[in-house]
Structure 1
Amino acid sequence: MWRRLASRRERNPGRRSPWWRRLIVGFGLLAVAGGAAFFLAWQPAIEPVSTPDRASFQPDQIRKGAALASAGFCSTCHTTDETKPFAGGYPLKTPFGTIYGTNITPDRDTGIGTWSLAAFRRSMREGIDRAGSHLYPAFPYTHFTQLTDGDIEALYAYLMTRDAVRAEAPEPDLPFPYSIRPLLAGWNLLFLRVGPLPAGDSGDPVLERGRYLSEALSHCSACHAPRNALRAERAELHFAGGMAEGWWSPPLDRSSPAPVPWTRETLFNYLHSWDSAHGGAAGPMKPVVAGLGRLPEADVRAIARYVAATMGLPAPDRPAPAEKPTDIAPARADEIHRRGAGIYRGACASCHESGGRVPFTVASLGQHTTLAGPLPDNVIRVILEGVHPPEGEVGAIMPGYAGVLDADQIADLLAYLRVRFTNAPAWPALKDDVRRIGAEEPKG
């Protein structure tokens, strides 16, 4: 009989196994894959602890943690109500949906009041909360994993000595399958490299300090690097520019389109408050500058030194600054540009044609990096929303024109600014971009 069966197989070598056998094999493979996924995803809970007493932390350690929290911009994503710092609820929109900053006050029910230092360290190093759930990488644990133990301990001391606020953060608004947290185990397997920042080989302690602050604590490439389809930073394009909350984040490498090349000093001025050659921060960069303002000046200079070293010499094909008269050359002065020039004269020229004599304006709009960038989004947002200094502080101020100029007028103005103040190609579909950005809901 066995010979007959063998001879049949030899005569029909391509014959498929019975359906029930294939089904069993398929279920077996699924079981193995599911078991492997569970093994990767499962993380044990860490036992809750009594909330540490403030007296258990040294004052110097708390002060150090305060500076680190500012340089890590913790309050930016974990605060919606300034009277309740770190109580969570801030909506961070991603291509996959909206994720909300969690409550990181020492409230025992809705915050981290039951977290031990070990639980806090695991969240910072591995992206796993005290209960064993995976955190979404909108929380930049891929950078915070590189922090030293001492800095993690100081951050823990600072957060555990804040006022406890009872506030439940909304659940992430993510469609299937992104709402399945265990899938993040696979993401971590692909993209998370746990452990402190490797020692550099520059031999320059200031440069190494700047590297540590930029790469680990301040996580600069989280915004200033492009991301792949799974929203992981593309390591091969480190500092090559990206997007953050709808704003274009310019490259911090030699591909920067800045018409006026950045230097250590101009970077320091910008990160500290304002630079006369490049202007000041707007959008998501504003809280970054505010946070860095609470660091020692030496640390901000170290960051500027590291970024300047990363940028190096400008790329040879960088567009030169455009120095053009108020009226565009006749060959480029079509009807759109004439209309834009009229809007500029009526709404902008009183400040921006002063040659920088108006406080907190640069000598020429042609010096702004974003006007020479590949996307108009930043310029559109500034025109719509304006620029406003923090309440009670001195800084750049500009009215928003959302209720004054319509989409067609703003598009004409943008076309004029681009052709007059840069040598870059025209932005396409400006009216569509203005309408898209103007229709966005304001952040809560």
Structure 2
Amino acid sequence: MRLLKAGGIALGVGLLLVVAGAAGLAAYGWRPAIDPVDPPAGFDPALVETGAELASIGNCGTCHTAPGGKPFAGGLALPTPFGTVYTTNITPDPETGIGRWSEAAFGRAMREGVDRAGRHLYPAFPYDHFTLVSDADNQALYAFLMTRQPVAATAPANDLPFPLNQRFVLAGWKLLFLQPGPYTPDPAHDAAWNRGAYLAEGLAHCGACHTPRNLFGAEEKDRRFAGGDAEGWHAVPIGSLSPAPVPWTAESLFHYLRDGWHGQHGTAQGPMGPVADSLAAVPEDDVRAIAAYVASVMGLPDAEARKRGDALAAATADPAGPGTRPQSAGSQTIAAAVPAQDPGAAIYAGTCAACHESGRPSPFGGLDLRLSSAISGDSPANLIRIIRHGVPAASGARGPIMPAFAAALSDRQLAGLLAYLRGRFSDRPAWTGLDDAVRAARDGEVAAAAAASH
């Protein structure tokens, strides 16, 4: 009886501690509401133009626009390991958007991840990067958003389990992982490098995708740019662990970020596609600054990697000039060399070789697959998605295209093709668990489609 009583007392004390801890965290995380204002008007056009460029660097329109929805009206489903978060309406609609937000309320959301009403925002909105943005740039972003077309639209409720659906827990997350800004220039580097660091680490939030995350969903700062996952795609490492067969340079990064394509690296797909689309609309100097900073983070390749890259670049070079579509052997040669017992090779010869071995320029010829980071990377996730969904034609622009094979290939056939591509066009170890990876990709697409139709 004494043991039962002691156990009850211990349980009661434990519950009290949990309640007290929760109450303390809620008190610590409390933020006051900021009074609403009348929708402002009369912004300086030059300030709005600057804000438009900054919004493109931050890729704001992509995340805050649902498929088929109005620009910046929110409602896009963002899948996370913890559940689905839906982006909010950031048009100046006074009831469902940010039309009654003051500039101070907007700045607090960017710097602290707290909305006008005092609610903590989920870090799917990357305020852990946006905290670095300067007051002047926040002012320009505010001017741009407040001059968009107001849209009355309310995002679906987030689909998160308890206790993650209780926003006070975000105060604890911030206590552990949020390092307040703004950005402080590094005197050891010149102005261009600091501009690139400010943009890449801040508004462009490159690390949000390209850095691994811990069990709490926070970036592992000691593994910055070591690769991560985003929306079912693998964001490849952009440091010394980059899988690119030909090492990146500041110049190749610039063209890839600006054009969404580079002849030695292929086309920007998945979440990188909209990034390149957005960066095409910003000043060239800013894109060059981002590229120079990222290249400096990558560092110079070692002698062996440089030697292999130079040899591969020479072997795949197009006589028309650098950065253009590489030449390769004819598809008939490949088809004739296919081992009859290798179904992956037969699929490649029948569906891939005609483009990837043709030597034709983009958009009618494909990348020489010896140059493919999707094939040489640690994860098959990107290659699975590219094969399943292809590379859609860009509206109004010349660029690479590729048909989708989701309906043409079974899961087993796709796994066989993946194994063949990895073995033939990469010197990296064979992928394991391809059947599971293909199944997981397909199941993830089904779940994402269900969340998007919520």
* TM-score normalised to structure 1 length: 0.89
Farther-moved stretch of structure 1 (198-207 vs 316-325): 316-325
Runs of 5+ consecutive residues of structure 2 not aligned to the other structure: 316-327
Question: CA shift at 1:200, angstroms?
Answer: 1.0
Tell me the amino acid that sits aligned with residue 373 of structure 1. G
Partner of 2:119: 133
Question: CA shift at 1:436, angstroms?
Answer: 2.4
Partner of 1:201: 187
Counterpart pick for 1:118 among 104, 107, 111 = 104
Inter-partner Cα distance in structure 2 for 1:79 and 1:23? 48
Tell me the amino acid that sits aligned with residue 432 of structure 1. D
Tell me the amino acid that sits aligned with residue 110 of structure 1. T
Inter-partner Cα distance in structure 2 for 1:89 and 1:366? 39
Q: Helix, strand or coil for the counterpart of 2:85?
A: strand
Partner of 1:59: 45
Partner of 1:278: 265
1:135-284 equivalence runs, <5 A: 135-273=121-259, 274-284=261-271
Inter-partner Cα distance in structure 1 for 2:195 and 2:105? 27
- Structure 1 residues 354, 19: CA separation in 2 closer, same or farther (over 3 Å shift)? closer
Question: CA shift at 1:393, angstroms?
Answer: 2.3
1:330-409 equivalence runs, <5 A: 335=341, 338-355=342-359, 357-359=361-363, 361=365, 364-409=368-413
Summarize deviations over 1:25-47 as a string: whole Å, max 9, x none: 55664454244212212111111
Inter-partner Cα distance in structure 2 for 1:62 and 1:72? 15
Q: Helix, strand or coil for the counterpart of 1:217?
A: coil
Counterpart pick for 1:420 among 403, 417, 424 = 424
Summarize deviations over 1:280-328 as a string: whole Å, max 9, x none: 1000100000111111011111111111111112257869578898769
Q: Helix, strand or coil for the counterpart of 2:32?
A: coil
Contact 1:351/1:358 (8 A) holds in 2:
no
Tell me the amino acid that sits aligned with residue 73 of structure 2. A
- Structure 1 residues 205, 176: CA separation in 2 closer, same or farther (over 3 Å shift)? same
Question: CA shift at 1:202, angstroms?
Answer: 3.0
Partner of 1:10: none
Counterpart pick for 1:288 among 260, 265, 275 = 275
Contact 1:48/1:114 (8 A) holds in 2:
yes
Partner of 1:49: 37
Summarize deviations over 1:186-232 as a string: whole Å, max 9, x none: 00000001121121133311111111110001000000000000010
Q: Helix, strand or coil for the counterpart of 1:179?
A: coil
- Structure 1 residues 28, 91: CA separation in 2 closer, same or farther (over 3 Å shift)? closer
User: How many residue pairs are counted as aligned between the two chains?
Assistant: 424
Inter-partner Cα distance in structure 2 for 1:23 and 1:399? 61
Question: CA shift at 1:362, angstroms?
Answer: 5.9
Inter-partner Cα distance in structure 1 for 2:83 and 2:91? 25
Runs of 5+ consecutive residues of structure 1 not aligned to the other structure: 1-14
1:96 matches 2:100 = no
Q: Helix, strand or coil for the counterpart of 2:155?
A: coil
Partner of 1:72: 58
Question: CA shift at 1:402, angstroms?
Answer: 0.9
* TM-score normalised to structure 2 length: 0.87
Summarize deviations over 1:245-279 as a string: whole Å, max 9, x none: 11011111111121100011111111111211111
Contact 1:388/1:395 (8 A) holds in 2:
no
Tell me the amino acid that sits aligned with residue 34 of structure 2. I
User: Quick check: which has more Rg, 1 or 2?
Assistant: 1
Q: Once superposed, which parts of structure 1, at least 4 consecutive aligned residues long, lie more than 6 Å away?
A: 15-21, 321-328
